[in-house]
């Protein structure tokens, strides 16, 4: 699993930062979290293929998180997309897109499943596949806002080739069947079970995405024991009153959330334009939670 920040600015873009958007890539497909202005260009620069985009997750309806959405959806229609696309977001997003469709400014020709989340007082599944699940939880902002969490399902243990050969399994298709969890019957009538050749199951990777929010218990729940917590750090601690007034967090707040959640790492993003150099925010956070890094646009973070 890889995380690719596509926009890290709060409120408005700058000459060096785009507004909120972030990709999570895995196994030849990817997910998009928020879609601020300029997201299409950043997606192209990141080398992400829109045809492999499986789902979009919008946190809330402030413009710096959705203004790039109509253009991206329309471009995929113009490019002849046929793969279904899921869009998850807060109440009102369907009405917004319906209005743009009526005005002929939105062009969607592919199967499009809009899933509004009217409330999320506890973690709830909003998107799932055989390999991973995405859950949502309501955060604390000036308007209804969602945070998201991606959890890969446990993966099979490592395949022991030597053990398989020792048990008489010929190289080829039977190896694959064992790796996928099937018993195989050998020509001599014996049966080899996956547990004979596979190590213990491996825990899947996990990522949480918490933008925009004041410090809250919901963010801790979203980030509980994740490998990577992506959290807004709009302001520094000396601007805490202003941060809370506008429904945001400081870098230290993000670090305390990561600490309380026992997250593996913390990725700071959503920086106010007051901080053209976000190193001050990184220093503030690392004093509380040492395993913290700054999001840099188009810079891949391995999970």
User: Is 90 exceeded by the pLDDT of residue 156?
Assistant: no
Joined tokens for residue 268: 């700071």
- pLDDT at residue number 53: 98
Q: What angle do CA 88, 209, 269 make, to 5 degrees?
A: 125
pTM: 0.90
Q: Give the whole-angstrom CA distance, residue 207 versus residue 216.
A: 18
Angle at 183 between CA 177 and CA 188, to 5 degrees: 105
Task: Name all domains of the chain by residue range, CATH numbers in brackets.
Answer: 2-155+203-302 (3.60.15.10), 161-197 (no CATH)
pLDDT of amino acid 160:
87
Q: What is the pLDDT of residue 285?
A: 98
Question: pLDDT at position 174, please?
Answer: 86
State the Cα–Cα distance between residues 86 and 6, nearest whole angstrom: 20
The residue from 64, 151, 212, 227 that is catalytic is: 64
> pLDDT value at position 44?
97
Q: pLDDT at position 302, please?
A: 97
Torsion of Cα atoms, 298 then 301 then 302 then 303, to 10°: -130
64 is catalytic: yes
């Amino acid at each position: 699993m890889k995380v690719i920040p596509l926009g890290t600015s709060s409120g408005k873009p700058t000459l060096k930062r785009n507004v909120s958007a972030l990709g999570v890539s895995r196994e030849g497909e990817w997910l998009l979290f928020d879609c601020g202005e300029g997201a299409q260009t950043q997606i192209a620069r990141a080398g992400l293929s829109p045809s492999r985009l499986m789902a979009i997750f919008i946190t809330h309806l402030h413009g710096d998180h959705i203004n790039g959405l109509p253009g991206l959806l329309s471009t995929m229609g113009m490019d002849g997309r046929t793969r279904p696309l899921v869009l998850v977001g807060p109440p009102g997003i369907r009405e917004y897109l319906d209005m743009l469709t009526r005005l002929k400014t939105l062009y969607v020709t592919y199967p499009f499943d809009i899933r509004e989340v009217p409330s999320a007082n506890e973690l709830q599944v909003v998107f799932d596949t055989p390999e991973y699940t995405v859950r949502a939880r309501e955060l604390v902002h000036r308007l209804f806002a969602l945070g998201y969490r991606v959890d890969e399902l446990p993966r099979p243990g490592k395949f022991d080739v030597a053990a398989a050969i020792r048990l008489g399994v010929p190289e080829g298709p039977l190896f694959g069947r064992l790796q996928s969890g099937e018993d195989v019957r050998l020509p001599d009538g014996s049966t080899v079970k996956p547990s004979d050749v596979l190590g213990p199951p491996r825990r899947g990777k996990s990522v949480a995405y918490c933008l925009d929010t004041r410090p809250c218990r919901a963010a801790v729940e979203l980030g509980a024991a994740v490998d990577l917590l992506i959290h807004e750090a709009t302001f520094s601690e000396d601007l805490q009153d202003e941060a809370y007034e506008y429904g945001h967090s400081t870098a230290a707040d993000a670090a305390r959330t990561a600490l309380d959640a026992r997250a593996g790492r913390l990725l700071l993003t959503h920086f106010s334009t007051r901080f053209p150099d976000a190193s001050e925010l990184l220093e503030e956070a690392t004093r509380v939670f040492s395993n913290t890094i700054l999001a840099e646009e188009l810079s891949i973070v391995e999970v």
